Amino acid sequence: MEVTLRRSAALARQTTTTTSLLLPLLPALLSVASRRPSYTTNQHQHQHQHHHRRPYSLFSSITRPPPNYPGHVPLTTLEKAALAIGSGLISLKNPRRGDLIATFAETTSTPYFLPRLRNAMLLSPTGRRILRDRPRITSTTLNLPYLRSLPQNTVGRTYISWLDREGVSPDTRTPVRYIDDEECAYVMQRYRECHDFYHALTGLPVVREGEVALKAFEFANTLLPMTGLSVFSLVGMKPKERERFWGVYGPWAVRNGLRAEEVINVYWEEVLEKDVGELRRELGVEQPPDLREMRRREREERRRRRGGVGRGE
């Protein structure tokens, strides 16, 4: 519990500083954009009259609309561009910055990708119920002790066992802030909160190698740009890990992500007592090889070779 609270506090601090970290990019973008103004003559005269008093009057004169839902931060197109570029570049360098990955996801998922995912939910009876009910996945809404009491082969027991094994809490998902459409904002929040269920369904761990494999699966299944960008973090992985991704987990991710049902339409709260193998078959998702076991065998092989060299073998 103490670890979870520390993680949640750290996540909150990172989230509140995201905008302040990236807003310095805005003046440069605004300077470039202002070279070819597209506003009317009256707007141009108004801009000229106040040029010396307000250096960025094009930006500051915009009337920001009211929030569409609690926590919503309306952004201009230029602000979204700055946040998308800054968060994308920084998160590539530091994949542990979950707040920046979340920002990149929100600023690049509209106007096409997230509405496409919402439409996929609207085409599914279960997806429509999820949009109507708007359930949330947290340690409060899920009865975690009850999940631990379920049989080993159930979805709920598989999920809680994965959380316990990886030391993960369902309470660390960043709230959506930058998506204007309130229903699409919920779809993004639902996707984030279901992410650990995808981990449990596939068995992939939270190490970078496992995250990249799962993001590749999600990209093939959801088309969200953030999931595709995450695959580029392969460049920071070890040669053996990249080899394993291209040879095993990359092909698995593409094959299963494309053929599987839309995983966003799973009402996880209603299938907790279901056999996890049966759910995998219904969705069309096959479990990949156990990544932690492969990494363990690799470490043992390295130790064996070092020991052999030490004995002069």
195 in a labelled binding site: yes
Of 20, 18, 26, 17, the closest CA to residue 79 belongs to 26
For 228-239, give the DSSP string. HHHGGGGGGS-H
Dihedral (C-alpha) 75, 81, 86, 88: value to the nearest 10 degrees? 110
Q: What is the DSSP string of 29-60?
A: HHHHHTTS--S-HHHHHHHHHTTTT-TTHHHH
Amino acid at 122: L
Q: Which amino acid is at 121?
A: M
For the record, the structure tokens of 87 come out as: 């968060």
99 labeled part of a ligand binding site: no
H-type alpha helices, 134-181: 144-149, 155-166
218: annotated binding-site residue? no
Find out whether 196 is annotated in a ligand binding site: yes
**Residues whose CB is less than 8 angstroms from the CB of residue 309 and which lie 6 or more positions away in sequence, other chains included:** none
Please state the residue numbers annotated as binding site: 195-196, 199, 211
Please state the residue numbers annotated as binding site for Zn(2+): 195-196, 199, 211
